[in-house]
């Protein structure tokens, strides 16, 4: 059995996945996996698994200059940076009214769903039904297993990844995706668009297509998915209810001088494309910009403050990659290009005894 087929079975069959969790060696042996495949799975290294998957690709795909460890760029930023010479400013997307959610129970119109990070395993039953029933499916996914699964669920499935053009501004790709989504909607009247993770988290094409679909008289709705942040909270043992949690796109965080609170946890997305506006992987120039970010954060946390680079693997057998380093070593980190940066709280929140009294919180008695 090919590794891709085994991963597909794990992602789509609860029985296969349950047995693998219970008896991993026996499950791999029965699947006929090679010793190299079994060793890579047990090691849990996404990079090694990606290379094995790459060698299984058909010739017409394997001949391309592909890197499955960075199949797609990180999710589109909330704010796209406008460049004129050096970085000049950042602007938010057009302020078109979002409106109230349209009916979730109607099949017609535009439905945006997310697969979660591990497609199949983390995809909700609700999203799966929408993919299966849609007249037309478009998708933008980050791994070949999720892609195969969506294609099996609905034969009309079409990837929007080719709309990324190397060396071009990312907004060009986003606009092309929105145009393709609306064109299919005009033709069929019923389209489901599948994004990885949560479709509303840093996904310009998802939000913009819903806005424009509604303006053009179509019903449109978005269903929630499991995001990389959800995986991070689970894997790092973070409770946002204890100290709070702030979440920003890294470039926007710097250029807009965000007024944040160091006593609450801080998540910075897209550190791997810091200052990048062009689709030009692998974005090697980013490492030269990381000292700007670490220097800025050091003002609030100190150089020795431990931060965490986190990457949630899309593969059902891989552990998340977690790198803990002092803030001063951020530019030397290994996981920069595919990770979220988590900065733990620094100090305690400020307690307001007057407000506690008004709320009747009997804090003086310790109850």
Question: Tell me: the pLDDT tens digits for 245-255?
Answer: 999 999 999 99
- Catalogue the active-site residues: 170, 174, 196
For residue 282, say if its preceding peptide bond is cis, omega within 30 degrees of 0.
yes
Check residue 195 and give its pLDDT: 97
**Most confident among 12-16, 102-106, 277-281 (mean pLDDT):** 12-16
Check residue 102 and give its pLDDT: 62
Go through the domains of the chain in sequence order and give each one's CATH number. 3-70 (no CATH), 80-226 (3.40.1010.10), 229-343 (3.30.950.10)
d(CA 129, CA 124): 9
- Give rounded-to-5 percent helix, strand, coil for the chain: 45, 15, 40
Check residue 76 and give its pLDDT: 40
Check residue 78 and give its pLDDT: 39
d(CA 23, CA 18): 9
Q: What are phi and psi of 75, to 5 degrees?
A: -55, 145
pTM for the whole thing? Answer: 0.77
Give the pLDDT confidence of 135-188 residue by residue, as tens digits: 999 999 988 889 999 999 999 999 999 998 777 787 888 999 999 999 999 999
Check residue 284 and give its pLDDT: 64
Q: What is the chain's mean pLDDT, rounded?
A: 82
Considering the chain, what percentage of its residues have pLDDT values greater than 70? 82
Give the pLDDT confidence of 109-141 residue by residue, as tens digits: 999 999 999 999 999 988 998 999 999 999 999
How many CB atoms are located within 10 Å of the residue 275 CB? 20
| Residue 257 pLDDT greater than 50, yes or no | yes
Check residue 159 and give its pLDDT: 96
Give the pLDDT confidence of 194-208 residue by residue, as tens digits: 999 999 998 899 999
Residue 121 in tokens:
């395993």
Higher pLDDT, 272 or 222: 222
């Amino acid at each position: 059995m090919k590794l891709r087929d085994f991963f597909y079975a794990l992602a789509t069959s609860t029985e296969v996945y349950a047995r693998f969790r219970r008896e991993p060696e026996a499950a791999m042996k029965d699947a006929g996996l090679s010793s190299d495949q079994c060793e890579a799975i047990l090691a849990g290294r996404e990079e090694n698994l990606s290379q094995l998957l790459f060698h299984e690709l058909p010739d017409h795909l394997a001949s391309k200059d592909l890197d499955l460890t960075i199949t797609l760029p990180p999710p589109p930023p909330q704010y796209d940076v406008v460049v004129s010479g050096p970085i000049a400013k950042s602007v938010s997307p057009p302020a078109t009214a979002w409106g109230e959610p349209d009916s979730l129970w109607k099949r017609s119109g535009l439905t945006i769903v997310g697969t979660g990070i591990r497609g199949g395993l983390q995809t909700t039953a609700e999203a799966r039904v929408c993919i299966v029933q849609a007249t037309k499916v478009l998708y933008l996914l980050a791994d070949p297993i999720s892609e195969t699964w969506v294609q099996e669920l609905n034969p009309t499935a079409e990837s929007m990844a080719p709309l990324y053009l190397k060396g071009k501004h990312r907004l060009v790709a986003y606009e092309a995706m929105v145009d393709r989504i609306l064109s299919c909607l005009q033709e069929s009247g019923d389209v489901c668009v599948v994004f990885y993770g949560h479709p509303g988290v840093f996904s310009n094409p998802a939000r913009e297509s819903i806005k424009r679909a509604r303006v053009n008289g179509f019903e449109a709705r978005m269903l929630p998915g499991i995001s990389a942040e959800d995986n991070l909270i689970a894997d790092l043992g973070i409770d946002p209810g204890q100290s709070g949690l702030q979440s920003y796109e890294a470039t926007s965080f710097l250029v807009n001088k965000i007024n944040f609170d160091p006593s609450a946890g801080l998540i910075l997305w897209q550190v791997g494309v810091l200052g990048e506006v062009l689709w030009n992987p692998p974005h090697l120039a980013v490492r030269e910009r990381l000292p700007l970010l670490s220097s800025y954060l050091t003002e609030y946390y100190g150089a020795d403050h431990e931060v965490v680079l986190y990457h949630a693997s899309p593969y059902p057998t891989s552990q998340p990659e977690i790198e803990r380093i002092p803030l001063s070593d951020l530019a030397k980190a290994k996981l920069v290009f595919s990770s979220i940066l988590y900065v733990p709280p620094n100090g305690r929140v400020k307690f307001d005894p007057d407000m506690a009294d008004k709320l009747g919180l009997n804090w003086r008695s310790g109850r």
